Amino acid sequence: MHVEEKMTVETWPAAPEKQTLDAKNKFLGFWLFLGGETVLFASLFATYLALKDSVPRSDMPLAKDLFEIPLVFAMTMILLTSSLTSVYAMYHMKNFNFKKMQVWLGITVILGLAFLGLEIYEFNHYVHEFGHTFTSSAFGSAFYTLVGFHGAHVAFGLLWITTLIIRNSKRGLNLYNAPKYYVASLYWHFIDVVWVFIFTVVYLMGMVG
């Protein structure tokens, strides 16, 4: 099958993200990249665990003083839902339904933006209510670096998916852009998985420990 070929529902293959050699390479390469990213976040988690509640003065806020479950629970639900909507988008991609795929990706982006907005509100809250900043303590540095790296990944993912939606809006699906959509959705799932760990290790364990 050729990349530039005009596709129809009938000719659209079952696994459009892996039809050409370039696509297969992209698929595998991206999985490997996510392997590297996993080590990157593992390192950040290790740093956070080593420096958790490590503050220079006893009057400074600790994890148990800072975090409130309702807000981060809402953020978690929003991001998990956005992962689900990106699955719907990929479902429609496999069925060659371009319009529905674009709509579900649009919803994914909106949910991602909502998550990012809440995260900014959350950081702002810690800074102004508690004086918990990036520079106030080793705990602060480690917290904002871990959660901020995740936030930066979310922001990059939003730019990426938005670019894909706009760039391809007029031309529909083909075997050239299908793998691009697919790896973007893989990336989005990865961000979601990392957040599940942040929710557990930083917030839930922060509340009890």
Partner 1 sequence: MSTNAQKRGFGATLWDYLTTVDHKKIAHLYLIAGGLFFLIGGLEALFIRIQLLKPNNDFVSAGLFNELLTMHGTTMIFLAAMPLVFAIMNAVMPLQIGARDVAFPFLNSLGFWLFLFGGLFLNLSWFLDAAPNAGWTSYASLSIAQTGHGIDFYALGLQIAGLGTLIGGINFLVTIINMRAPGMTYMRMPMFTWTTFVVSALILFAFPPLTVGLFLMTFDRMFGANFFDAAMGGNTIIWEHFFWIFGHPEVYILILPAFGIFSEIFAIFSRKRLFGYSSMVFATVLIGFLGFMVWAHHMFTTGLGPIANAIFAVATMAIAVPTGIKIFNWLFTMWGGSIRFTTPMLWAVAFIPSFLMGGVTGVMLGSAAQDYQYHDTYFVVAHFHYVIVGGVVFALFAGAHLYWPKMFGTMLNEVLGKITFVLFFVGFHMTFFIQHFLGLWGMPRRVFTYLPGQGFETSNVVSSIGAFLMAAGVIVLLINVIITSVKNEKVGNDPWGDGRTLEWALSSPPPYYNFKQLPLVRGLDAYWIEKMEGKKGMTPAEPLGDIHMPNNSFIPFLISLGLFIAAFGAMYHGDEGNTWGIPVLIFGLLFTLGSMFVRSIKDDHGYHIPKEELIDDNDKGVKA
Q: Which residues bind partner 1 (CB under 8 A)?
A: 3-4, 21, 24-25, 28-29, 32-33, 35-37, 39-40, 43-44, 47, 50-51, 54-56, 134-135, 137-142, 145, 159-160, 163-164, 167, 176
Q: Which is nearer to partner 1, 93 or 165 (CB)?
A: 165
Q: Which is nearer to partner 1, 4 or 59 (CB)?
A: 4
* Cα atoms in the Cβ-side hemisphere of radius 13 Å centred on 140: 16
Q: How far is the CB of 69 from partner 1 (least distance, A)?
A: 25
Note whether 63 and 206 are within 8 A (CB): yes
Q: CB-based burial of residue 194 (10 Å sphere; 0-12 exposed, 13-18 middle, 19+ buried)?
A: buried
Q: How far is the CB of 88 from partner 1 (least distance, A)?
A: 23
Q: How far is the CB of 21 from partner 1 (least distance, A)?
A: 7
Q: Which is nearer to partner 1, 29 or 77 (CB)?
A: 29
Note whether 25 and 6 are within 8 A (CB): no
Structure tokens at 31: 């999985």
Q: Which is nearer to partner 1, 49 or 77 (CB)?
A: 49
> What phi, psi does 14 have (nearest 5°)?
-70, -35
Structure tokens at 137: 């303590």
Q: How far is the CB of 56 from partner 1 (least distance, A)?
A: 5
Q: How far is the CB of 111 from partner 1 (least distance, A)?
A: 22
Q: Which is nearer to partner 1, 57 or 99 (CB)?
A: 57
Q: CB-based burial of residue 160 (10 Å sphere; 0-12 exposed, 13-18 middle, 19+ buried)?
A: middle
Q: How far is the CB of 132 from partner 1 (least distance, A)?
A: 12
Q: Which residues of 12-29 are buried (b: 16+ CB within 10 A; e: fewer)?
A: beeebbbbbeebeebbee
Q: Which is nearer to partner 1, 36 or 70 (CB)?
A: 36
d(CA 76, CA 197): 11
